[in-house]
Structure 1
Amino acid sequence: MNHLKLNQTQIQAVVDQLTSQPDGVNRLLEIAMNSLMKAERNAYLEAALKGNKANGYRSVSGYGVGDSLSLQIPRDRLGGFKPTLLKVMKDQADSLNELCFELYAKGLTTRDIESITETIYGQHLSKSQISRITSSLSEAMQAFRERPLAEYYPIIYLDATFVKTRRERVSSEAYYIALAVLPDMTREVIGIYNAPTESASVWNEICVDLKNRGLKQSDLFVIDNLTGLDSTLETHFKAPIQKCILHLKRSILNKTKKQHRPEMVSDLSDIFQLENRDDTKDALLKRAKAISIKWRRYYPHLKRLEDADWLSYYATYLSFEYDIRNMIYTTNWIERLNKAFKRTLKIRNSMPSVESVLTLLSKVAIDMNSSTYRHPVSRFQKSHLFK
């Protein structure tokens, strides 16, 4: 058979005519890629052992410009030929998978992702396909949650957030977060856990897991008034505990009559003199007792402020250097992380499974770990943490 030979000008004219059509660019890509793979097979067979020959084609779809490509992958009889373009196509598919997961992790629904991938790639991915893509990355997220830890972190924040999750039915379930501050003042999520409800037994399991993964020492745990957490921490670690002062104030004010709140705010600020560089725990406890005596006839529960053992958990920050007190008297740092979790999850009314929540929370945590979050104090000097 005689082959038609065209000069460069004629080839350019054919290309111009083809690409001027609505789907011309993708058709040209199909021709070029199919031709390259066929030429690569010819070269492979010429260099191969005798007895091997061409054995037809298999059809696959590729990603084009706003449309899918119909590609013909050449085959050989012995099954040894693998065109170079297959790796390019695999890399392209991997990139699409990563894009789908990133979009899902940023809060887009599977329907949103379907629309985006079809517009950009011309490839319609169904809801089930996208779900499989996101599920395929859950192993990497699990490996992140189970990774080994350093033996020492200067400060560890612990908190729980609640997410509507489907088991047999949809209900709010507790997801436990451990956020550590490293010696260089960066932050790192070191634990993400789930349990249907918050309880002391769950915190015990979390402490055991942190220890099994390598944690031995911390200089401080910062927590909210979470059920059974203080006693559990004291069982596993020899480190002081600071309970969140802002949560304590909020709890007291929520039980205070409206007309008393301005004065109560002032009195609570007098107890916790956060800007007083020379304040001491003994002085704080005396002020708290005076405020309790002032208000307890109206609010009997405030007699708790006279319990030195109980209130000491809220005064631990005074044992530390003044320069770091504003980062340890509250759980604000971990609550900012919880807000990032909520932003990712809020677009969904509920999550289909516990694993889907853990996967998304892990992705947010990995993104946060890759960013630099620092406190104005440039670096911890362990000997200077305490006064």
Structure 2
Amino acid sequence: MDTLKLNHTQIQAAVDQLTSQQDGVNRLLEMAMNSLMKAERSAYLEAATKGNKANGYRSVTGYGIGDSLSLQIPRDRLGSFKPTLLNVMKDQTDSLNELCFELYAKGLTTRDIESITETIYGQHLSKSQISRITSSLSEAMQAFRDRPLNEYYPILYLDATFVKTKRERVSSEAYYIALAVLPDMTREVIGIYNAPTESASFWDEICQDLKRRGLRQVDLFVTDNLTELDSTIEKHFNAAIQKCVLHLKRSILNKTKKQHRLEMASDLNAVFQLDNREDTKEALLKRAQDVSLKWRNYYPHLKRLEDGDWLSYYATYLDFEYEIRNMIYTTNWIERLNKAFKRTLKIRNSMPNVESVLTLLSKVAIDMNSSTYRHPVSRFQKSHLFK
């Protein structure tokens, strides 16, 4: 039979008629891709060495527009022919994998992702397939957590966020975050860790890991009042420690009767005069003693405000230039990061294991490092940080 020959106008009319039908675009894509691969094989065999020839087809499924495509991959007898379009299909698969992980990292459940991928690509991905996709990227997230560090960071924030995680049963577990300020005053998440219980040995492991990855010097650690953390830091680094003033205030006010809270808050603000450029540690400690004497009959635990060694950890910010005190007297910066973690995790009632939490937190941290934290937070360099 003679080959049917159509002019450009006739071909355009046939294409228009086909694409106007329901799912016509996908059917046209199938025909075009199958024809291109068949033509590519013919050209390959013409240029190939003698003895090779066509050897049928194998069926695969590609991604179309709201539906899947049925494609026929041409084969040759020697098994050496690989259509160029296979690379395009591999790119499609890689892109779909990345999309699934991005959606998962933004807080969507596996069921949500199943629905989205089927609607967009016409490709049904099961919960187990999506789980395998997200798990396949956990190695990249592990590499992020294990990456080499700079030798020096002026400021390092340490804090914890709690996530419901399943081991033998579901319980809230702490995930500890290390957020560093670089010499150019940009920021970077440099550590994400999990431990079922907080202890001196756990903090020792974190410090050893930071040093193993290259960290040698930090000028200031900013932390909450985490168990045994201050003594462990002092063991590993010659650095000042600032404990979060806001956490201390909240802790005191939470243990104060409702009728006393307004006055107590005013007294605590008088102790920590954050807007007083001329304030000193000695003056702060004296004001704290006065507050203790005023309230300790009602609240005996406030007697600790008279302990200069203990309270000095909350007054370290006064050793630094006034211009940066508002960024070091509290762990607010890292708490903003914790809020980003919560937004990602809030849809899920609990996480299936520790690794899934670490993977998601790592992805959020990478996004923050490449966007929010790449902008300097201050013009001050190291020489301007200290009095």
Amino acid at match of 1:3: T
Residue 129 of structure 1 pairs with residue 129 of structure 2: yes
Amino acid at match of 1:255: K
Aligned equivalent of 1:378: 379
User: In 1, distance between residues paired with 2:296 and 2:153?
Assistant: 40
Amino acid at match of 1:2: D
Aligned equivalent of 2:154: 154
User: In 1, distance between residues paired with 2:262 and 2:18?
Assistant: 76
Aligned equivalent of 1:287: 287
User: In 2, distance between residues paired with 1:277 and 1:54?
Assistant: 84
Amino acid at match of 2:174: A
3-state DSSP class of the match of 2:178? strand
What do the CA deviations read for 1:104-163 (whole angstroms, capped 9, x no partner)? 000011111111111111111111111111011111000000000000001000011111
The alignment's TM-score, normalised by the length of structure 1, stands at: 0.98
Shift of 1:166: 1.0
User: In 2, distance between residues paired with 1:371 and 1:377?
Assistant: 16
Shift of 1:377: 2.3
User: In 2, distance between residues paired with 1:276 and 1:350?
Assistant: 45
Aligned equivalent of 1:350: 350
User: In 1, distance between residues paired with 2:210 and 2:245?
Assistant: 26
Is this contact kept in 2: 1:157–1:223, CA < 8 A?
Answer: yes
Matches within 5 A, 1:300-339: 300-339=300-339
Aligned equivalent of 1:30: 30
For structure 1, the residue ranges without an aligned partner over 5 or more in a row are none
Aligned equivalent of 2:174: 174
Aligned equivalent of 1:68: 68
For structure 2, the residue ranges without an aligned partner over 5 or more in a row are none
User: In 2, distance between residues paired with 1:342 and 1:378?
Assistant: 31
Residue 208 of structure 1 pairs with residue 212 of structure 2: no
What do the CA deviations read for 1:265-308 (whole angstroms, capped 9, x no partner)? 11101100000000000010111111111111111110000000
User: In 2, distance between residues paired with 1:182 and 1:147?
Assistant: 16
Is this contact kept in 1: 2:317–2:328, CA < 8 A?
Answer: yes
Aligned equivalent of 2:40: 40
User: In 2, distance between residues paired with 1:376 and 1:97?
Assistant: 35
Amino acid at match of 2:308: A
Aligned equivalent of 2:100: 100
3-state DSSP class of the match of 1:268? helix
Shift of 1:330: 0.2
What do the CA deviations read for 1:75-113 (whole angstroms, capped 9, x no partner)? 111111111100001001111110110000000111111
User: In 2, distance between residues paired with 1:375 and 1:51?
Assistant: 65
Shift of 1:375: 5.9
Amino acid at match of 2:234: E
User: In 2, distance between residues paired with 1:276 and 1:88?
Assistant: 63
Shift of 1:24: 0.7
3-state DSSP class of the match of 2:30? helix
User: In 2, distance between residues paired with 1:131 and 1:379?
Assistant: 45
- Of stretches 126-135 and 4-13 in structure 1, the one that deviates more from structure 2 is 4-13
User: In 2, distance between residues paired with 1:264 and 1:324?
Assistant: 27
Shift of 1:18: 1.2
Amino acid at match of 2:272: F
Is this contact kept in 1: 2:224–2:331, CA < 8 A?
Answer: yes
Amino acid at match of 1:81: F
Aligned equivalent of 2:198: 198
Is this contact kept in 1: 2:184–2:376, CA < 8 A?
Answer: no
User: In 2, distance between residues paired with 1:257 and 1:305?
Assistant: 18
Is this contact kept in 2: 1:186–1:372, CA < 8 A?
Answer: no
Is this contact kept in 2: 1:151–1:217, CA < 8 A?
Answer: yes
Is this contact kept in 2: 1:45–1:53, CA < 8 A?
Answer: yes
Residue 224 of structure 1 pairs with residue 224 of structure 2: yes
Shift of 1:320: 0.2
Is this contact kept in 1: 2:60–2:71, CA < 8 A?
Answer: yes
Amino acid at match of 2:96: L
User: In 2, distance between residues paired with 1:289 and 1:188?
Assistant: 38
User: In 2, distance between residues paired with 1:158 and 1:372?
Assistant: 18
Is this contact kept in 2: 1:323–1:377, CA < 8 A?
Answer: no
Is this contact kept in 2: 1:175–1:193, CA < 8 A?
Answer: yes
CA RMSD for the aligned pairs?
0.9
Is this contact kept in 2: 1:207–1:233, CA < 8 A?
Answer: yes
Shift of 1:383: 2.2
What do the CA deviations read for 1:164-194 (whole angstroms, capped 9, x no partner)? 1111211111111100011121110000011
Amino acid at match of 2:365: A
What do the CA deviations read for 1:238-262 (whole angstroms, capped 9, x no partner)? 0000000000000101111111111
Is this contact kept in 2: 1:217–1:238, CA < 8 A?
Answer: yes
User: In 2, distance between residues paired with 1:376 and 1:90?
Assistant: 41
Is this contact kept in 2: 1:292–1:306, CA < 8 A?
Answer: yes
Amino acid at match of 1:377: S
Aligned equivalent of 2:138: 138
